[in-house]
Amino acid sequence: MKIGAFDYELTGIIPKLVAELRKVSPNINIHAFPLHNIEALDALAQGRIDLSIGYFDFPAGSENTFVAQELFPEHYVLAGRRDHPLLSGDLTLAQIAAANHLLISPHGPIRDLVDHALHLQGYKRNIQTIVPSLFAALSIVESSDLVVTLPERVARDNARRFDIVHQPLPIEGGTFHLHAVRHIRDANNPLHIWLLQKVRSVIPD
């Protein structure tokens, strides 16, 4: 089975899925591809992958092409090393703007919901370091003064491994939804339905 997933899903969902499949169906082969959003949808349309997990900007009319099932809602938090003074209490936009930030982006500088919220209040985020992956970011922030915006599950699941803490962001609209997406031609494929059930089984409430 070929699955499209990017950094968040590759570190938080795919390892649990593989462990579960090794127990219930050890002969099944899983190949994960680092595909995200539109790239993943294109791969599904071309038949290069069977399932994709992640956040998607679905194009108009895509309901006739893809079957999308929501897995869970997620929201962003600000994370840093355990004794970081910024993370000892509730955050303000002024504090966030004054902090030194690390940005996770495989494609270089981008503006996200944090930048938008700061901009509306006349602030600008001070991004000092950009890395392409979650684990690189976590390794850096646990031993520096940098802070990073992460999905809460990532911060929570890696708190002990990387000795980090987190606080919720004082930003409205910071929730996004993770979906499992298949091409409509596979909507009734028993193997694909079974795989989706296994994906859901490894996602904690």
In terms of domains, do 134 and 64 share one?
no
The pLDDT value given to residue 85: 95
Which residues form the domain of 94?
75-174
Task: Give me the CATH number covering residue 27.
Answer: 3.40.190.10
Mean pLDDT of 181-202: 94
pLDDT one-digit tens code per residue, 136-148:
999 999 999 999 9
Q: Per-residue pLDDT for 190 more than 70?
A: yes
| Low-confidence winner among 3-7, 61-65, 180-184 (lowest mean pLDDT) | 61-65
Rounded to 5 degrees, φ, ψ at 103 are: -115, 135
Mean pLDDT score, 188-197: 94
Residues 157 and 87 in one domain: yes
Cβ–Cβ < 8 Å for 54, 5: yes
Q: Are residues 48 and 21 in the same domain?
A: yes
- The verdict on 110 and 165 lying in the same domain is yes
Does 87 lie in the same domain as 59?
A: no
Mean pLDDT of 51-76: 89
Reported as a pLDDT band with limits 50, 70 and 90, residue 112 is: confident
On whether both 94 and 139 belong to a single domain, the answer is: yes
The answer to whether residue 81 scores a pLDDT higher than 90 is: yes
Both 9 and 86 in one domain: the answer is no
Q: Does 205 have pLDDT greater than 70?
A: no
169 and 82: one domain? Answer: yes
Name the domain count of the chain: 2
